[in-house]
Structure 1
């Protein structure tokens, strides 16, 4: 699972060098890569949402809400 995660992250961050044939590569080398990519996209989407909400909380002056959001962000970023 760890190697699939590392490979999925490299594809997610650097899309300049895609694998030679995605279908062949996914099925032979990393059978659970598709699920890993979906999981990472959900995670990155959640982080982006929390950052936007934190900005909104800061703009409205709601310090308590902003601290809660930052705590959730810190938890997800680990």
Structure 2
């Protein structure tokens, strides 16, 4: 599981779909690299509504996947 305890800011492009790693095993955090295979956990698709900076969850405990909701502050 992920040991990251902070949000991961990433520039996203309008209408592009990103696949957020939900298992914490990916070497390409915060995005999926297929390392979840066999875990029963699947990545979460996120389609950017516009060009902007998005704060993806790094701790994998957010209730608003794939975006950070501040849960890492309580871990």
TM-score (norm 2): 0.23
Q: Which has the higher strand share?
A: 2
Higher relative contact order (CA 8 A, sep 6+): 2
Q: Which has the higher helix share?
A: 1
TM-score (norm 1): 0.22
